[in-house]
Amino acid sequence: QVQLVESGGGLVQAGGSLKLSCAASGLSRSSTYFMGWFRQAPGKERELVAAVTWSGVTIYYKDSVKGRFTISRDNDKNTMYLQMNSLKPEDTAVYYCAAAATWGIVSTSYDYWGQGTQVTVSS
C-alpha cells in the first residue's frame, strides 16, 4: 500500500522560509515514479510546483517559484523535500506531495497523494 505523508507546513512571515517533507512508503525502488509537489489555494486549481524523477533529477519548477524553491530527494530515507525561501503571500496554499508512474504536470497524471500540509505566508 502506497502512503505519502507530508510535514513541515506552518505560518511564516513574507520573506521567510519553510521546508516541507514527504515520506513515501510502499513505492517499489525498482519503479520509476515521478514525484512532485502540488499546491492548491482557495478557489484555485491544484498546480504543480516542482517535480523530480525517482532518482532525484529535478525536471520541473513552476516559473513563479524558480530561484526560491528547491526540490530534492533522499532515496535512502524515501523522502522528498521542498525548501521554500523568500516566501510570498501568494505562496499560501495547501501543499501536497504526489507520485506518478507517467510524467505529467496536471494533477490527473498522479496516482498517489499525501493528505496535504497548510502553508500560510503573512504579509
For the segment 4-21, what is each residue's pLDDT rounded down to a tens digit? Answer: 999 999 999 999 999 999
Average pLDDT, the chain: 93
Q: What percent of the chain has pLDDT over 70?
A: 97
- The answer to whether the CB of 21 falls within 8 A of the CB of 7 is yes
- Mean pLDDT over residues 109-119, rounded? 96
DSSP per-residue letters across 9-77? -EEEETT--EEEEEEEES--TTS--EEEEEEE-TTS--EEEEEE-TT--EEEE-GGGTTTEEEEEETTT
Band the pLDDT of 75: cuts 50, 70, 90: confident
For the segment 41-64, what is each residue's pLDDT rounded down to a tens digit? Answer: 999 999 999 999 888 888 999 999
Helix (H, G, I), strand (E, B) or coil at 115: coil
